[in-house]
A = this chain, B = another copy of it.
Amino acid sequence: MIKANNSTLKSWIEVPENSDFPIQNIPFGVAKHNNEVFVATRIGDTVINLYKVAKLGYFNIDAEVFISCRLNDFMLLGKQVTRDVRNEISDIFVSTNTEASNNAELQKALINNKEVEMLMPISIGDYTDFYSSEQHAFNVGCLFRDPNNALLPNWKHIPVGYHGRSSSILPSGVDFHRPKGQRKAPTDEMPTFGQSNLLDFELETAFFTYEGKPIGDSISTDEADEYIFGMALLNDWSARDIQGWEYVPLGPFLGKNFASHLSCWIVTLDALEPFRVSGPVQEPKVLPYLEYKGDKHVDINLEVAIKPENTEETIVSKSNYRYMYWNMNQQLAHHSINGCNIKVGDCMGSGTISGPKESEFGSMLEISWKGTKAVKMTDGTERKFINDNDTVIMRGYAEKDGIRIGFGEVKAKVLPVK
């Protein structure tokens, strides 16, 4: 077992009940405080400046790696080092470490979460988005093609994925403008230009990679865990009307690349290890390079809320990451089977994660069943897609044996078209 995951540990830093950040989490992020930018972790509501901790000699690595605006340099040290640092952080902040809790210099590394601005955690090289939830692929197939042949012939043979745009991935809290572009409904004779009227969220998670192998080499499902640093929540916004007109034959482009939002704390794969579960039986049998051993799915509760301006939020979806058909190991093995080189900081989106129940669907496209059903908000208004000035909030956490490992949230407000 990974030392820092020990469920009996308590921290000398206060952890509120139901916090996403007990001492068993120890996520990594990039924070800004008093104009200083540094790599940080968080316990309870306390953000910890890891540069200051490192300067006190607590770690066996160069402190300079933490005085950075991105986690990439830290990740470049590889899994053994980042795992060691997480274990060392656990040792420092565990309740029995009175040397540390009495160290006045160490106290200077602790900051109240409210005083900190969280920045984009990782400099993303390439962004790949998969399409790995069966219920989501089935729903989309029903809505746009044939309910009797909802899944396309390749879907159960390959973790279908496509390349996305990395420049427009934003950290939680950065609002954005409704996109504009060409739309053409099937009933329209010609395309028109204007704002997207079918703006949607997509409930996703993302994982981030360490530096992979050289171009030409592949990462097997057995090796994949060693190349995965951690996970975050991802809202992969979609403009359904723009997407519907543009995407044949080369896939989504402007319907997707105007913005995606990422939660700011990267929860390590190590911290999620206790929450592994088995995946679905894969039938037809997958090709040997996609076979895997052990429990490689993860039980992570996910939810989406819409908060209209000046009123309370309404939860519109409760899903779970365990609903994935293809797991991260299969995705990474597939991505590299042709020799494609994976780089440090690559972002791999899960695709929209929908569960089997209607209340578990991960996009408004599915929840409103292509605009045929409305969802009521607390202020009495209805939503089929996302309105201007709505804030969409996603949250996620894994929970077992009294330990809750959470991601915090990813949220962003839709501003009117510019």
Copies of this chain assembled into the complex: 2
Known contacts A166-B125, A182-B157, A338 near B254 by CB under 8 Å? yes
Asked if A166 and B287 sit within 8 Å, CB to CB, the answer is: no
Asked if B254 and A335 sit within 8 Å, CB to CB, the answer is: yes
Does A57 belong to the interface (CB within 8 Å)? no
Asked if A126 and B167 sit within 8 Å, CB to CB, the answer is: yes
- B-contact 0/1 string along A235-271, CB 8 Å cutoff: 0000100100111111111100111000000000000
**A150 shortest CB reach to chain B, Å:** 12
Asked if B251 and A338 sit within 8 Å, CB to CB, the answer is: no
Asked if A250 and B252 sit within 8 Å, CB to CB, the answer is: yes
The residue from B167, B249, B346 contacting A341, defined by CB atoms under 8 A apart: B167
Which DSSP category, helix, strand, loop or mixed, fits chain A's interface?
loop
Asked if A250 and B338 sit within 8 Å, CB to CB, the answer is: no
Asked if B287 and A182 sit within 8 Å, CB to CB, the answer is: yes
Asked if B339 and A258 sit within 8 Å, CB to CB, the answer is: yes
Does A278 belong to the interface (CB within 8 Å)? no
Asked if B249 and A251 sit within 8 Å, CB to CB, the answer is: yes
Does A164 belong to the interface (CB within 8 Å)? yes
Chain B residues within 8 Å of A341, by CB = 167-168
- B-contact 0/1 string along A178-202, CB 8 Å cutoff: 0111101000001111001000000
Assembly CA distance A71 to B348 (angstroms): 28
**A196 shortest CB reach to chain B, Å:** 8
Asked if A250 and B249 sit within 8 Å, CB to CB, the answer is: no
Chain B residues within 8 Å of A342, by CB = 167
Chain A residues close to B by CB (< 8 Å): 125-128, 131, 152, 154, 157-158, 160-168, 170, 176-177, 179-182, 184, 190-193, 196, 215-217, 239, 242, 245-254, 257-259, 284, 287-289, 334-335, 337-343, 346, 418
